[in-house]
Amino acid sequence: MDLVTFGVQLLNAIQYGMVLFLVASGLTLVFGILGVINLAHGAFYMLGAYLAYWIAAYTGSFWIAMVAGVAIAFVVGLVLENVFIRRLYGRDHLVQVLLSFGLILVIDEAREILFGKDVHSVAPPAWLSGSIQLTDNLSYPVYRLAICGFCLIVAALIFLVITRTKIGMIVRAGAENREMTRVLGIKFDVVNRYVFAVGIALAALGGIVIAPISTVFPGMGDGMLILSFVVVVLGGIGSVAGAAVGALLIGLTDTFGKVFFPSVSSILIYVLMAAVLLWRPNGILGRREV
């Protein structure tokens, strides 16, 4: 493999990792801070992509689709938290798995009623639809590069909110010790609601942003859900920085696995996960005790 090809593959790996991070960040927030296993995360990712397709088809604008899609997902997240999820805090993980699995079925059926079961594609914004010539016969879509930049911005925003703001402080305190935070008079329950809604909105945002490069189809969330869990477990549950590291590692492993060991590429990321968990049972950036 010459240097140019290696460079292109590296770009592929990083870009794939960024996409994984965007989707997994919401999962790690909900999982780490609320302690809720949300199996429906992939379903919200799919819902985001379908919303992007639907709104963009009506309004002709990808940006409107993005803002409206995230807003809808956020509101849905608030309602779901209020009606269902808040009853699950501190309860057995099995109950959470059952509820969120039920949500998958409901969302899939709702998608079928609202949008049907056809495959759709979404056009990226016109000024991002070009491509850059990389080698004599290979070019790279500008939109893929834009996703990288976008993911970096989202990552920075999440990081800033959690480490530098009062809300972030409450969130961290609540994740550390729920009872003590309540005793101190902090309305942790309200914060919970917003954390969950943000998690759902991030999943939908992932689906929306990825829609132009990954066509919109039923079941697109299933594979992404599994990968997101791998990212979260690999990076350390609840750690946003960990999710970023985990996502990049998986991007690299998957891309170069496909190039160098094509016959076993599908299991390489799981081998990686097993190896990391042997070395650090709480994930790369996970806290010592959970």
Partner 1 sequence: MSSRLIVSRRTLLTGAAGAATLAVAPGLRAPAIAQNAPLKVGLMLPYTGTYAKLGKFIDDGFRLYVEQKGGKLGGREIAFVQVDDESKPEAATDNMNRLVGREKADVVIGTVHSGVAMAMVKVARDTKTLMIIPNAGANDATGPACAPNIFRSSFSNWQTTFPMGKVLADAGIKNVATITWRYTAGSEMIDAFAENFTKHGGKIAEKMTVPFPEVEFQALLTRVATLKPDAVFSFFAGGGAVKFVKDYAAAGLGKTIPLYGAGFLTDGTLAAQGDAANGIRTTLHYADNLDIPANVAFLKAFKEKTGNVGDIYAVQGYDAAALLDAGMTAVGGDDKQRDKMIAAMGAAKIDSPRGPLSFNKAHNPIQNIYLREVRNGRNEMISIAQKDVDDPARGCKLA
* By CB under 8 A, residue 121 contacts partner 1: yes
Site string for partner 1, 262-281 (x = CB under 8 A): xx-xx---------------
* For partner 1, the closer CB: 129 or 163: 129
Cβ atoms of 21 and 84 closer than 8 Å: no
Piece of the chain touching partner 1 by CB under 8 A; list 59-67, 93-101, 192-200, 255-263: 255-263
- Token readout for 58 is 């009506």
Alpha-carbon distance values, 269 to 1, 9, 106, 231, 237 (Å): 22, 17, 30, 10, 17
Piece of the chain touching partner 1 by CB under 8 A; list 36-44, 77-85, 113-121, 175-183: 113-121
- Token readout for 80 is 């779901």
In terms of Cβ atoms closer than 10 Å to its own Cβ (0-12, 13-18, 19+), residue 132 is exposed
Site string for partner 1, 139-158 (x = CB under 8 A): xxx-----------------
Shortest distance, position 265 Cβ to partner 1, whole Å: 7
DSSP assignment of 12-49, as one string? HHHHHHHHHHHHHHHHHHIIIII----TTHHHHHHHHH
Shortest distance, position 112 Cβ to partner 1, whole Å: 7
* By CB under 8 A, residue 92 contacts partner 1: no
Candidate residues 72, 146, 213, 241; the one interacting with partner 1 per rule CB under 8 A: 213
Rounded to whole angstroms, the Cα distance separating 199 from 134 reads 36
Other CB atoms within 10 Å distance of the CB of residue 184: 11
The residue to which tokens 């979260």 are assigned: 232
* By CB under 8 A, residue 8 contacts partner 1: yes
Candidate residues 120, 172, 178, 280; the one interacting with partner 1 per rule CB under 8 A: 120
* Residues contacting residue 180 through CB under 8 Å, at least 6 positions apart: 173
Shortest distance, position 55 Cβ to partner 1, whole Å: 17
Other CB atoms within 10 Å distance of the CB of residue 224: 25
Q: Which residues pair with 120 in a beta bridge?
A: 216
* For partner 1, the closer CB: 134 or 173: 134
Rounded to whole angstroms, the Cα distance separating 173 from 177 reads 6
Piece of the chain touching partner 1 by CB under 8 A; list 76-84, 189-197, 219-227, 241-249: 219-227
* By CB under 8 A, residue 256 contacts partner 1: yes
Candidate residues 61, 135, 163, 177; the one interacting with partner 1 per rule CB under 8 A: 135
Piece of the chain touching partner 1 by CB under 8 A; list 91-99, 166-174, 191-199, 215-223: 215-223
**Site residues, partner 1 (CB under 8 A):** 1-2, 5, 8-9, 12-13, 15-16, 112, 117-121, 131, 133, 135-141, 213-220, 223, 254-256, 258-259, 262-263, 265-266
